[in-house]
Each structure stands twice: as structure tokens, then as C-alpha cells.
Amino acid sequence: MSFQVPSELVEKIHDFVTTGFQPSFGKLKDKFRSEPIWQRLEGLGSRLWLDTGSIADAQAYWTGQFSALTTNNTLLNREIQTGQYDQLISRAAELLAEYPQLTPSQRMLEIAFILNAWHGLRLVEKFDAFVSVEEHTDLAHSLEHAVAYARRYYAICPQRFIIKIPFTPAGLLATRILARQGLPINHTLGFSARQNYLIARIGNPKYVNVFLGRLNSFIADNKLGSGDFVGEKATLASQQAIRRLNQAGQSTTRQIGASFRAGQQVIDLAGIDVMTMPPKVAGEVLELKPDPRQITDKTGMIYEPQVNDDVDRQAIRLDTLWQVSDDLKTSLDKLERENLDDFTAGDLVNFFHEHGVKDLLVNWSDTQIKTNAAEGKIPKLANWQRELAQQRIGLDSLINLAGLNSFAADQKAMDERVRQVLQR
């Protein structure tokens, strides 16, 4: 991928997207109702976000304690598939028609950018929320273009937009550049303490994530146990690692707990920096009707993952979800003495392989990528037992690949909807 969007077109798209945008920065918070449960969690230090792109779903649970909304390729695809933006797609195509030099793939990237930015602004307008907007998955492995599109997103709404960059080698280097320039980056698709430790030390983004629900689902779907508390343990381990870095002055990153699947998980993780919960989960918390006074800080808890006794935890690399090895720390100490400004994504992968950490940033083969994509969000253990047992990959790196592939599948579905609209 090598192209540069004409600066004139960048300006036109900026103006196209922001025309009619009427924000109320800082003026709406007191107009929303309050909820004692959310007040208690906020008082324990947890910022509360809703994980949805749906205005209707967000409106049902939004209170003055919520401060942000997260969107992604999956959530935006759901909105696009409703047809509500078909007219916008046509208008965007008319704008792009003035630039015949653009290839079909470049046009698709621009339309996706317009849709993400437009929808994000609607969320800002409605809730005065900070909104995480995500780049097209085609940019996940392009350092140059990930940086360029992130800057364009930020320019659309610097007061409220947070830019999501996925956990890939190119994404790490892009995050490092952007965070140093002051852009608020939500480095997404993290699944372990060691991944987030790596991200925080290299990139120092505003936020890192643990998609805890997918970790629990991996155990349950592969019949290794109920999976309860696997994601919770990984989230708390990551939170503790991030806080230690912050206390040592090595990072200013905050931890997000993401991919909540049940209301009880919110209570079990009270005190983490940020919780982004789907509306369904927010509703379950309210249905539990916990006494706010009995909700306490859980960041010091050590949960026992519910995995069957006959499962070889070492063979499936369960430890990669919550352990930050000395080898990784030593490697990062050495990396900080390198000139990262000159590194490519390949250089970064090679560095860790040469320094004994080969299972974190993996050189996936085309066959492995296709196998993983066919499995869906949750990898099938049978296909990966050998690589895991031989420590060629980590469980966290495997589920990260599945996450990126699942987002790419939803991005593809959204792109196809755009094509269908334009063919009418």
C-alpha cells in the first residue's frame, strides 16, 4: 500500500464531515440523570464508557457518570447495515468522483473514513461524549497510513475524538509517533498484561485494553472449563503492570477493561481505570441491584481462573495472559537504547525474536492467518496446540490475531454494503 491522498481532498472531506456539526462541549453533563451504582464506581476511580455505536442503545443507559463511547469496525458495520447512511454514502461518492486518480481501494478507504468520522460526530453531538473511532483494517500493517489517517481523525474533532490503533507491529510504531505528538490513542486488541506492558513502554498511548470476554470464551468454547475469571485475572494483572509503569514514570497509560459479557464482571473489576461496557451489560448491572456501599475496589484481587483440572495450563500458554517475564523487560530495556525512529514493523519483530521473545510479535504465515480467520472470533485449540506447546506463539498473540481477523471480516461486510449502495 503506497499512496497519498491529495491535500485538497483531505480538506474537502474535513469540511464535508463537519458541516452542520453542533457540539455542546461541557454543557450537557448536568442534563443527564445520575445512577448511584455508577456514582460508586466512578468514586472508586473507574471511568465509565459505553461500548456501542447505537444512539438508541446508548440513550437507554447513558447517565452523567458516563464519559465516552467506543465504536469499532463491528459496531459501525451494524449501523451501516441498517441503511441509515445510504444517502451519505452516495453523497461521499459524488465528492470523490472529482478525483478520478483514486483507485477503488482508495475510494473505499475514504468512504470508510467519512462514515466513521460522521457517525462519531453524531455521538459527540448527542452525548457530548469522548468517542473512540477506528481506522479501516487495511491500515493495520501500514505505519505510514495509520499515522496519516489518525491525524485526519483527530483534526475532525480534537476536543472529543480518541483514535483506535490495533495491536500490530506497525500499529505499535504508529502509536509511538502519534502519542508523542499529543494525539489520544486507544491502542486496541490487547489481551494480556505483557502485551499492554509492551505497548505502554513502546507507545505510551492514552489507553490500552484487555478484551476479557473473549479470553473467557476461549476456555469455554474449547471445553477447557467454564472460563470464569480468566479475563478478569488478565485485566487485573495488566492494570497492576500499567500502574507500576506509571508510578515509575515510564508511562502515563490507562487500562481499559473491554468485552464485558456479564454485569457481575463490572462489579468484580471495580476500580480499574476504565470500563467500556455494552448496553446489555450495563442493564445487567442495574438488574443486579447491588448496594453501592458494598461495591469495593477489586484491583488487588487475585481471581482463580475456572479451568478444568486436567488441562495443561503451561501447554496452552495460559500464563501469557497475566505474566510479564523478565526476558521481556530486559528486551525492552535494550530496545529503549535503539533508535526506534528508524525501525520498521519488521525490524521490531526481528528485535524481539533476536532477544528471546519470539511468541509475542509473531511472524504469521499466510496459512496460519487463513486458518485463524476461518475460525471466527475464538480460535479452535486443536488447530494451534503444537505451536502453543512449543512456545512458538502465545495464547495472547493467537487471540489477538483472531480479533484482528474478526474486525477485518466486519470491515469487509461494511465495504460490501457500500459497494451495493453505489451500484443502485
Q: Which of 213, 161, 167 is nearest to 183 (CA)?
A: 161
* pTM of the complete model: 0.97
What pLDDT sits at residue 69? Answer: 97
As a whole number, mean pLDDT of residues 217-223 equals 98
Q: pLDDT band for position 2 (50/70/90)? A: low
- Does the pLDDT value for residue 1 go beyond 70? no
State how far the Cα of 35 lies from the Cα of 347, in Å rounded to an integer.
49
**CA 89 distance to own-chain centroid:** 25
Helices and strands: H and E segment counts in the chain? 18, 8
Arithmetic mean of pLDDT over the chain: 96
pLDDT tens readout for residues 144-159 = 999 999 999 999 999 9
Positive/negative CA dihedral, 10, 166, 256, 374: positive
With contact defined as beta carbons under 8 Å apart, do 252 and 277 qualify? no
73 pLDDT higher than 90: no
Please choose, from the candidates 115, 103, 86, the residue with its C-alpha nearest in 3D space to the C-alpha of residue 5.
Answer: 103
pLDDT at residue 170 above 80?
yes
pLDDT at 147: 98
Q: What is the pLDDT of residues 314-362, one digit of tens each?
A: 999 999 999 999 999 999 999 999 999 999 999 999 999 999 999 999 9
Query: Has residue 275 got a pLDDT over 80?
Result: yes
Rg (CA), the chain: 21
Q: Tell me the average pLDDT across 368-389.
A: 97
Greatest alpha-carbon pair distance for the chain in Å reads 64
**302: three-class secondary structure by DSSP:** coil
CB 190 within 8 Å of CB 353 = no
Percent of the chain at pLDDT exceeding 90: 96
Angle at 155 between CA 98 and CA 403, to 5 degrees: 90
CA distance 342 to 314: 36
pLDDT tens figures, 88-136: 999 999 999 999 999 999 999 999 999 999 999 999 999 999 999 999 9
What's the whole-number mean pLDDT along residues 367-371?
98
Instruction: Give the pLDDT band (50/70/90) at residue 424.
Output: confident
Task: Name which of 81, 149, 29, 69 is nearest 410 in CA terms.
Answer: 81
Task: Quote the pLDDT of residue 72.
Answer: 87
Walk me through the domains of the chain, giving residue ranges and CATH numbers: 7-20+30-305+410-422 (3.20.20.70)
Query: Tens digits of per-residue pLDDT, 282-322?
Result: 999 999 999 999 999 999 999 999 999 999 999 999 999 99
